[in-house]
Amino acid sequence: MMPAAFVTDMGPFPAFENDDYARALAALGETLPRPKAVVVMSGHWPARGILSATSSAKPGIMHDYSGFPEEFYRFDYPCPGDPALARNIIERLAQAGFPAAAAPERPLDHGAWAPLSRIYPKADVPVVQLAVPAGEDPRRIMAAGLALSPLREEDVLLLGSGALVHNLRLFRFGETDAPPDAWAEEFDAWLVKRLDAGQTGELCDYRRLAPSAKLAAPTSEHFDPLFFVLGAAPGAKPVYTHRSLRYGSGLRRIFSFGL
């Protein structure tokens, strides 16, 4: 069975930098079994009411950021899409009680293509991006992952791209090697303890139970892809392959379930 995995969205940087995180993404692609396709949920496509899936045979990418060097706007990741898989996803979600629809005009956002450009640099693995159910109870997002978990038996990689700590106002930009912020370390330690113990109930209640949760995740859309992955691999233990901190609280993690 194909594993499910979580990677950290660090903007478009992984596509252009060759730091330890970019190399860890590349190592993930070499470690995972080669998938038939990837279904990725990115925190940059929040949706309310209807869950959408990219359904074009050639989705293309969007440069959904501003203020970067010109090369960041010339980059392309010409991976194929998979319209048949998109239809399959929509049917499975509908059967699980999620209104879902095809999004043939939607390109991949950088939360999807930036990490995938390192994981599968040849852009030869079909990709379908799934919107994140914004504002939903984490248990509902886990249910969406569970509804799609049988796709793992068909060699489809279910991937969450988000951030366990995502508070840009507190990032110390310009201080790449800034000392770790204690509150971010404490939040991360709390998460890992619950992930290792399979305590999904406490994880779903992280806003009330976790230390510094409001600092780490002032909004939920980047944290929510974690619940998609947890639902996609029920009962599996996490295998951690990278951890680092950037800008003081920019927590970068890569881990897999069922590896």
Q: What is the mean pLDDT of residues 42-54?
A: 92
- CA 58, distance to chain mean position in Å, is 21
| Residue 248's CATH number | 3.40.830.10
Q: 132 burial class (0-12, 13-18, 19+ CB within 10 angstroms)?
A: buried
The DSSP call for residue 54 is: E
Count of the separate structural domains present in the chain: 1
How high is the pLDDT of residue 246? Answer: 82
Range of the domain at 147: 4-257
Rounded Cα distance, 65 and 63, in Å: 6
Task: Select from 174, 139, 166 the least CA-distant residue to 221.
Answer: 166
Examine the pLDDT at 175 and tell me if it is beyond 90: no
How high is the pLDDT of residue 40? Answer: 98
Q: What is the mean pLDDT of residues 136-162?
A: 97
